[in-house]
Amino acid sequence: MIIEVTGTNTWNKGAELMLVAIRERFLARYPDYTIAVDGSFGSYADRANYQLKQKVNRGRWGKTRLALTLLSRSFRDAYGLAFDEDIDAVLDASGFAFGDQHPTRRIVEFADQVDIWRRYGCPVILLPQALGPFDNPVQRECFRRIASSASHIFARDTVSFQHACGAAESDENITMAPDFTNLVTPPSSVKLPGDRMACIVPNQRMIEKAGSDEAADAYEPLLEHAILALQGRGMECFLLVHGVHDETLASALRDRVGGIRIVRESDPVRIKAILGAVDVVVASRFHALVSALSQGVPAIATSWSHKYEQLFSDYACENLVLPVPCPPDRVQEAVDHVAGAARQDLIETIRSRGSILKEQSRTMWNEVETIIGLAGPAGG
């Protein structure tokens, strides 16, 4: 049995953590299943690390693909290759790839691929992700096709659900579920060098997706103000690189605030462990925020899409999503909230909401297993 997972990769640690979450769920419960990914996931070593098969996609391998189809199944299995006809189910874990803020190429290719999978009778499920808006005619038509052919679509938040239902011909196969990386439990062996630590996770997309030059120019100063405010609260701050494209930004921030440490970690589960061990997280990476909040760690966010506000709404702390530009006193107010007298009440709220969201994720997985024809073990 082979499950193809699309939308994940190793250069974005949130995307890689989604692969980890899927693998943990299926391989622990259904050891006969294997997972296949296409070449965009990462290197051969990356696939080998997770024991993944290489999906041979139509149109990308040219004549080589035709030659490979003539080889025996045992040969293909021995070399870890999988074709469309080998796939038993498809789980898309794009996170946020379909909507007007993204290039149309991805959604066009995915809509075409969904048609191919369905011709093979293969169930296709879009795992919880942010979606829309779909005002662009190409985006809207492609999503309509996807929604018509997919077995099920899980929108990750209310706004995404509304966008998806508005673009689809029918909303019968569209429901809501939270981000499922909240179920990944990291080891508790991470040791930090200080007692009161704050982790800062920048995101280059805050500059790339800024609505104006003013917003783009204001992002680094906002994080600088946050770091200084946290240091004023007696916290030791460090930067964590959550995606390869954030390196330059992290270095610039380090220089702005006097040389704080930059942590680089390749293992997404260990990254989640780090984020769960600190006292405060200030982040612009969605899955860094999920990793913090799902472990009861207060967090402050900045936003370039609706997914951030919706996430913090799930945890009942919407006031901790800061606008860009942001007045220094508003930054100070947020820091005082996560590090001051209200901190313990905030932690209790986050943990309470987190427990509900984790149960919703378990329910989502049970639904997925039912859709693809698995009789899940008792206990969810």
> Quick check: is 379 in a domain?
no
Give mean pLDDT, residues 62-72. 55
Lookup result for tokens 């427990």: 355
Spatial CB neighbours of 344, under 8 Å, sequence gap ≥ 6: none
Spatial CB neighbours of 158, under 8 Å, sequence gap ≥ 6: 176, 310, 313
Please name the helix (run of DSSP H) or strand (run of DSSP E) that holds residue 37, with its range, or none. strand 34-37
On whether both 154 and 119 belong to a single domain, the answer is: yes
> Quick check: is 176 in a domain?
yes
- At 61 the pLDDT is 47
CA distance 92 to 90: 6
The answer to whether the bond into 178 is cis (omega within 30° of 0) is no
> Quick check: is 191 in a domain?
no
On whether both 263 and 222 belong to a single domain, the answer is: yes
Give mean pLDDT, residues 194-214. 95
- Residues 90-145: tens digit of each pLDDT: 999 999 999 999 999 999 999 999 999 999 999 999 999 999 999 999 999 999 99
Cβ(120)–Cβ(91) under 8 Å?
A: no
Q: What is the CATH number of the domain that holds 98?
A: 3.40.50.2000
On whether both 44 and 146 belong to a single domain, the answer is: yes
Place 353 in a pLDDT band, splitting at 50, 70 and 90: very high
Spatial CB neighbours of 79, under 8 Å, sequence gap ≥ 6: none
On whether both 166 and 214 belong to a single domain, the answer is: no
On whether both 156 and 214 belong to a single domain, the answer is: no
> Quick check: is 254 in a domain?
yes
Name the least confident of 22-31, 177-186, 322-331.
Answer: 22-31
Q: Please provide the average confidence, as pLDDT, over all residues in the chain.
A: 93
The candidate with the shortest Cα–Cα distance to 226, out of 326, 307, 304, is 326
- At 178 the pLDDT is 99
| Per-residue pLDDT at 378 exceeds 50 | no
| Per-residue pLDDT at 35 exceeds 70 | yes
Alpha carbon distance, N-terminus to C-terminus of the chain: 21
- Residues 150-197: tens digit of each pLDDT: 999 999 999 999 999 999 999 999 999 999 999 999 988 788 888 899
On whether both 159 and 248 belong to a single domain, the answer is: no
On whether both 107 and 227 belong to a single domain, the answer is: no
> Quick check: is 376 in a domain?
no
> Quick check: is 190 in a domain?
no
CA distance 174 to 105: 23
On whether both 142 and 37 belong to a single domain, the answer is: yes
Please name the helix (run of DSSP H) or strand (run of DSSP E) that holds residue 161, with its range, or none. helix 158-167
Concatenated DSSP letters of 322-359: E-SS--HHHHHHHHHHHHSTTHHHHHHHHHHHHHHHHH
Place 375 in a pLDDT band, splitting at 50, 70 and 90: low
On whether both 201 and 341 belong to a single domain, the answer is: yes
> Quick check: is 378 in a domain?
no
On whether both 217 and 297 belong to a single domain, the answer is: yes
What is the percentage of the chain residues whose pLDDT exceeds 70?
93
Query: Is the CA virtual torsion 176, 180, 183, 189 positive or negative?
Result: negative
On whether both 113 and 141 belong to a single domain, the answer is: yes
CA distance 11 to 62: 26
- At 28 the pLDDT is 86
- At 69 the pLDDT is 59
| Per-residue pLDDT at 380 exceeds 70 | no
On whether both 120 and 72 belong to a single domain, the answer is: yes
Residue 213, domain extent: 197-353
Amino acid identity of residue 59, one-letter, is G
- Put simply, whether the predicted model's pTM sits higher than 0.85 gets the answer yes
> Quick check: is 270 in a domain?
yes
Q: How many domains does the chain have?
A: 2
